[in-house]
Chain A
Amino acid sequence: MIETHLNTTCRIGGVTFKNPVVMASGTFGFGKEYGKLYDLSRLGGISGKGVTLHPRPGNPGIRVYETPSGMLNSVGLENPGIPAFLEEECAFWETLDTVRIVNLGGGTVQDYVEGARLIDEDSNRRQARGRRAVDMIELNISCPNVKAGGMAYGIKTCVAREVVREVRAATTLPLMVKLSPNAEDIADMAQMCEEEGAEAVSLINTLSGMKIDARKRRSVFDNLYAGLSGPAVKPVALRMVHQVCKRVTIPVVGMGGVSSAEDLIEFIMAGAEAVQIGTYNFVNWQAGADLVEGVERFMIEEGIADLNEIRGIL
């Protein structure tokens, strides 16, 4: 930390983040690998790799393709399943001095609910022993809805409402719903989350995209479409965060292409409480540490003592 009198803290659902720099799901594993490169306690928080009730092998074929100032990924939610996550990763999470967020995915509403219940129960058991590994659930509604023919839950507000309502009822942990930019109306989606009792929303997940290998005359990805992230999506993400901030009163966590402290500040000015960093971790392996410092430097240079002075000024 550069200056101690700066107030960079954020509050979401009763949880305090020491600063607005949160690592985005899927780009930071469960923190172990980056934890060997720098001190994770400098971060505001970490959202872990998306987990589902049952283990998933993820998608076959090529999983990453670089695009101008961005990348397409088709990881397909490869994860060890929630029981294995609780067993193998949470002991490490217990040791972390940063906000720990579980990113929860699913294929059916029952999967989501059962997953949330397992996380909740585990959390209660740990708390009874005076421990804590999870501070918050981030509900990823971009998963394909098995029942609705594979269309993501996060497209239509009425389809998403059921998942949000059921998961809300299944956990007492603070709930943040992660919205897809592919939603028909992302502000409506956010409003629905507020109505259903979510403590926060986060956005944006990746934008659905495509790459064709013209020589081979086929899609680069076995799964046909893939998710676009990185600097290329930032203007879209910022506009969506701004729209959502205008609609809801619950905290909004912004993300999409953040690659500098000024990018991050833009999201705060659009109204975000905190900001997540995804793809930039691949560009700069100490992205988190650098951005925490960069935000403090920006505040000093601009004479800002508290981020609230600039939050939502537009």
Chain B
Amino acid sequence: MATIISNRRVAEGIYVMHAAGRFEAKAGQFFMVRGWESYPLLSRPLSVYDQDEQGVKFLYKVAGEGTELLSRMQAGEDVTLLGPLGNGFPAAAGRTALVGGGIGVAPLFYAARHLEQADLYLGYSVEVYEEYEFRSIGHPVTIDCGGRVLDLVDFDAYDTVFVCGPEPMLRAAQIKSAMSAGKAAVYVSLENRMACGIGACLVCSVGCENGRKKACSDGPVFRAEEVVLA
């Protein structure tokens, strides 16, 4: 159980929840979150947006019943957290680009805070949120609203590229990576549906070059050329 410190709306349908607890999460890891007893049945996976001495933060979008329930929770109420889970981002080498599409910007904040150097590319569809927070890290931030943020990134200018976003964007990143000179190590963060979150049920399984892997416990971050996206 973790007590909610704050849960504030930052844009239409977008919230930041701060939950108390001592965690040692790495960037790119996630928690299985529930703010209810038995219904809805499954917990919801949410990435670590930020972490401080008080606890962990989630930046989330109201997508359906579960996130809707979370958005209505108040400071002082309890959420159940399982985590941190998954492997998160590998150590970034050289010049690094962090590319996020939609709510896929969430895991990039904590990643950026821990990198000496990183260029952030944030793509929003309608409304820009958390811009001040992202800019206050001190790294260059490029913001796109309504377009294709991936088009703004020259993969060959980087040694490492992390991409988080909806699946079509990840597929586009795979293609872009294959068509580039191949200098950059490109990683994608998957958002497969999950049940256990710890590697026991195989509902999150992804096809990889060397057989199947689990998005939750082997990922959620994979090398772009390693995964087969449907």
Instruction: Tell whether, in the assembled complex, residue A282 and residue B205 are in contact, meaning their CB atoms are under 8 Å apart.
Output: no
- Contact residues on B (Cβ < 8 Å of other chain), bracket: 20 to 34
Chain A residues whose C-beta falls within 8 Å of the C-beta of B217 in the assembled complex: 33
A78 adjacent to chain B (CB < 8 Å): yes
CB distance from A112 to the nearest CB of B (A): 21
Residues from chain B with Cβ under 8 Å of A259 in the complex: 38
Which residues on the A side are within 8 Å of B38 (C-beta)? 69, 231, 259, 283
Count of A interface residues, CB-CB < 8 Å: 33
Q: If the complex has contacts A71-B42, A282-B41, are A63 and B204 also in contact, measured as CB distance less than 8 A?
A: yes
Bound-state Cα–Cα, A29 to B194, Å? 14
Distance in angstroms between the alpha carbons of A281 and B211 in the assembled complex: 26
Alpha-carbon distance between A26 and B61 when the two chains are bound, in angstroms: 31
Instruction: Name the distance in Å between B69's Cβ and chain A's nearest Cβ.
Output: 13
Q: How far is the CA of A36 from the CA of B195 in the complex (A)?
A: 17
Asked if B39 is an interface residue, CB under 8 A from chain A, the answer is yes
- Could you tell me if A64 and B212 are in contact, using CB atoms closer than 8 angstroms? no
Q: Indicate if the CB atoms of A26 and B42 lie closer than 8 Å.
A: no
Which one of B40, B41, B196 lies within 8 Å of A27 (CB-CB)? B196
Given contacts A33-B198, A281-B200, contact A63 B40 (CB under 8 A): no
CB distance from B170 to the nearest CB of A (A): 16
Instruction: Check if A47 is an interface residue, CB within 8 A of chain B.
Output: no
Interface residue B230 (Cβ < 8 Å from any Cβ of A):
yes
Q: Contact between A69 and B39 (Cβ–Cβ < 8 Å)?
A: yes
Residues B203 and A63 in contact, CB atoms below 8 Å apart: yes
B contact residues around A63 at 8 Å (CB): 193, 202-205
A interface with B by C-beta (< 8 Å) = 26-29, 33-34, 36-37, 49, 57-58, 60-66, 68-71, 73, 75, 78, 230-231, 259, 279, 281-283, 285
Which 6 pairs from chain A and chain B are nearest by CB?
A: A29-B200, A64-B203, A63-B203, A33-B198, A282-B195, A33-B200
Sample of 15 more A-B contacts, CB < 8 Å, known A27-B200, A69-B38, A282-B42: A26-B201, A27-B201, A34-B198, A64-B193, A64-B195, A66-B42, A69-B41, A70-B41, A73-B195, A73-B201, A73-B203, A75-B201, A231-B38, A259-B38, A281-B196
